Amino acid sequence: MKTQLGRVLFARLTILLLYTPAGILITWSAQAMQEVEERADLTLPDIAAVHTEPGQAPVILYNPVLCHHAGRTLCEFYRYHEYGHLELRHHKRNDISIQQEEREADRWAATHAPLRVVMAAYRYFLNGGGSSPFHGEGRSRAARLLMSTESHVLSRGPAGYRRIREHVARAF
């Protein structure tokens, strides 16, 4: 049953990918990305993480070796995930659980990253990657990405559909 569900979800995401030009989903502020320092840290046990110190601007740390192993596109998803934490100001909140923060950061990344990036994370999570007590099971994360991305595309309304149709007309 879970395999069947996986196939259905994958098919739906593939359709979104085919009918959505790369970049159409980028709606976030590029300005916000440029204001945050990204720093390589070979000792970081994860691909990426937000690092905060009192009185200082938060920094996004990433491990270039783990990033390389994960692959550029998947690593990019993790980058968006960390920006999600920052945009949602998780480092300033203590009223929600870490698990909830991780779910929100996944959803944020799913609606702000280019679809090919979300797709790479979707495949990785669907195969069990990305599981942790805080992030949840990989398959749950995959389903979360799909639902967030799909509702984001649908919420764009007629203008979004028109742009998608124009893209398809050019592509074929």
Chain residues binding Zn ion by CB under 5 A are 102, 105
C-beta of 105: minimal distance to Zn ion in Å? Answer: 5
Give the integer Cα–Cα distance in Å for 36 and 142.
27
C-beta of 161: minimal distance to Zn ion in Å? Answer: 32
Which token pair is 44?
Answer: 């970081």
By the 8 A CB rule, do 116 and 149 touch? no
- Closest CB to Zn ion among residues 105, 126: 105
How far apart, in Å, are the Cα atoms of 38 and each of 59, 65, 73, 82, 150? 6, 15, 17, 10, 29
- Closest CB to Zn ion among residues 37, 166: 37
C-beta of 101: minimal distance to Zn ion in Å? Answer: 7
Q: Which residue is nearest to Zn ion (CB)?
A: 105
Q: Give the pairing of strands 48-51 and 59-62.
A: antiparallel
- Closest CB to Zn ion among residues 105, 115: 105
Instruction: Determine the residue type at 66.
Output: L
C-beta of 14: minimal distance to Zn ion in Å? Answer: 26
- Closest CB to Zn ion among residues 87, 102: 102
Give the integer Cα–Cα distance in Å for 128 and 44.
22
36: buried, middle or exposed (CB in 10 Å: 19+, 13-18, 0-12)?
middle
C-beta of 84: minimal distance to Zn ion in Å? Answer: 8
Q: Give the pairing of strands 59-62 and 37-40.
A: parallel
- Closest CB to Zn ion among residues 103, 152: 103
